[in-house]
Homo-oligomer: A and B are copies of this chain.
Amino acid sequence: MSTDRSPLALPFPALPAIAGVTPHVARAHYKSWDRCDLTFITLDPGTAVAGVLTQSKCPSPEVEWCRKALVLGQARALVVNAGNSNAFTGNRGRAAVEAIAARIAGRIGCSPSDVFVASTGVIGVPLPIDKAEAGLDAAFAAAPCRWEDAAATIMTTDTFAKGATTQAVVGGRTVNLVGIIKGSGMIAPDMATMLGFIFTDAAVDSAFLQSALAHANNRSFSCITVDGDTSTSDTVLAFATGAAGNAPIVSAEDDGADAFFAALADLCRQLALLVVRDGEGAQKLIEITVEGATSDRSAHRIAMSIANSPLVKTAIAGEDANWGRVVMAVGKAGEPAERDQLAIRFGTTQVARDGLAVEGYDEAPVAAHLKGHEIEIGVELGLGEGRATVWTCDLTHGYISINADYRS
């Protein structure tokens, strides 16, 4: 099926090459489509790796493979298959991952555990090993590609290719960070998956990289939702080649650690927002900020309750300043909240305060704000210092069309 480009899409940015990272793409023909669907990225020796993986209790074999390989903290290659997620495929699925890792290990001379694999697409169908191997052979033979080609090749039902970049100064040297990501919620006939890959030339110890990625994840990928459903294959991996030549960052006290962490967090946030911008059927990007909660964690839960509420999401789709639905979502979160201290704003306009509608508030700026593509909802609980910001999109007929009108 073809889907129109999201009205929230952003143009693909200019991304710098990352020394030590070489992307390639090829056709594995995982589906009957005429596009590249296998991405193969080689990483120079010495590359550190960190990752965050789905918390699903039914993960794909790729996720299990990566979880195990991450313990060693080093990487030489990444393979991403699009069109087949290989999830829920038993031993045959595991065998496909092992075959891919073995073939690459033999070719470039590394351990299979240095090869990271991610797949996205139809579930319940074992990844065909012959197609994967033929695709890899084509990728070995191919010239290096642009980041944009890699970003497009990992897409399934995404409507635009997604990438971002940032820099940091570490020990007097400028390091580059580049990320590509795919995901748009879920897509008929299969669940879609968020796969994100970050590459930097900074020298970073893998344990520190893991800690930094986990923290950045808490403020980015863990703060977005399209429909509240979690894929069996969600994967974010970060690779650091060290080619920039800075003194390796080993701990948070090291020179440049703060700058690197801030850059990584910024990149993750950019990438996460791109996924929401491609949310299935999305017409509006919604930023929800909850303040005054009893803790940051409580604020996050309340914000996610609002972000996952079909009632709130359809109200925004209808450009309706229905703050009553926000109250409902605050109330159902199960977190401390005092109805009579609650204040709610749309954009910069307070519409409710002290548990009551603000009498005679000016509806014009609210209506104008809701007609835009980027919507802000603010909730002040008045209880403490806890705060969180999360992002979602509206729930529209487009979502239903994508997920219900198509048959597998």
Chain A residues near B (Cβ < 8 Å):
54-59, 87-90, 122-125, 186, 188-191, 227-232, 308-311, 314-315, 317-325, 327-337, 339-340, 342, 352, 354-357, 394-397, 399-401, 403-408
Contacts and interface: CB of A to CB of B under 8 A. Distances in A.
B403 A310 contact: yes
A311 B229 contact: yes
A400 B396 contact: yes
Contacts of A188: 314-315, 318, 320, 322
User: Which of A125, A230, A403, A408 counts the most B-chain CB atoms under 10 A from its CB?
Assistant: A403
A57 B339 contact: yes
Query: For A55, A56, A232, A330, which residue has the most chain B Cβ atoms within 10 angstroms?
Result: A56
A227 B327 CA distance: 16
A334 B57 CA distance: 7
A68 to B, nearest CB: 16
Given A229-B329, A320-B406, A320-B407, 11 more contacts: A56-B328, A57-B331, A58-B339, A90-B354, A125-B357, A228-B309, A230-B328, A231-B328, A314-B403, A315-B404, A395-B400
A255 to B, nearest CB: 40
A122 to B, nearest CB: 8
Contact of A191 (B54, B89, B325, B354): B325
A40 to B, nearest CB: 26
Contacts of A87: 324, 327
Contacts of A397: 397, 400-401, 404
A340 B94 CA distance: 12
A318 B124 contact: no
20 contacts: A56-B328, A58-B339, A87-B327, A88-B327, A88-B339, A90-B355, A123-B327, A124-B323, A188-B322, A189-B320, A191-B325, A228-B310, A229-B332, A232-B328, A315-B403, A315-B408, A317-B404, A318-B403, A320-B406, A399-B400
Nearest to A333: B57
Nearest to A316: B404
| Residue of A54, A90, A354 with most partner-chain B CB within 10 A | A90
Contacts of A54: 331
Leading 7 A-B pairs by shortest Cβ distance: A56-B331, A58-B331, A314-B403, A230-B332, A314-B404, A123-B324, A317-B404
Contacts of A324: 87-88, 122-124, 190-191
A89 B356 contact: yes
Contacts of A309: 228-229
Given A189-B322, A339-B58, A403-B311, A88 B332 contact: no
A334 B399 CA distance: 25
Given A88-B339, A88-B355, A124-B357, A400 B57 contact: no
Contacts of A396: 400, 404
B331 A59 contact: yes
Nearest to A357: B124
A337 B55 CA distance: 12
